[in-house]
Amino acid sequence: MTHITQGVIVSMYTIDYYTRPNGNQPARDWLFCLDKKLKAGIMAKIQYLGEYGLELLGTKMLKPVKGENDLYELKSGQCRVIAYYDRGKGGNKFVLLNGFLKKGRRERGKIDEARFLSREYLSRK
């Protein structure tokens, strides 16, 4: 949910990159390996996620990961980012877990990796 204050859009959602215990940030690391055009597209979608959050459900940009609570797939062309929606104390926060390029069928291994990373994130809260 967003609102406008004196002509400025104020985001109601925080976007964070998940940082693993070893310091790696899988989603951030993946994003910075993309070529300029792909990176610009998915970064724009991440900005929309920060502005509109779950309001994007039902659009082509965001869909829930089947069988998972609070895991969502953000899409831009062939780029996919898996995010965990944290309703905790800070509320309204998306934690970007990992990303991948979709080539043909869904990349099951990357979805499984996101599941693991979400459990790791929750265990460290």
Handedness of CA 46, 34, 77, 83 (dihedral sign): negative
Residues 6 or more apart from 65 whose CB is under 8 A from it? 71, 72, 73, 82, 111, 114, 115
Q: Which domain holds residue 54?
A: 3-124
Work out how many domains the chain is built from and give that number.
Answer: 1
pLDDT (tens digit per residue) in 46-86 = 999 999 999 999 999 999 999 898 999 999 999 999 999 99
User: Position 102: which residue type?
Assistant: K
Torsion angle in degrees (nearest 10) through CA of 34, 24, 106, 41: -30
Structural tokens at position 4: 């406008």
Cα separation, 21 vs 65, whole angstroms: 24
The residue to which tokens 């895991």 are assigned: 71
Mean pLDDT taken over the chain: 88
pLDDT value, residue 89? 72
Whole-model pTM: value is 0.87
pLDDT (tens digit per residue) in 83-121 = 999 987 767 899 999 999 998 666 788 999 999 999 999
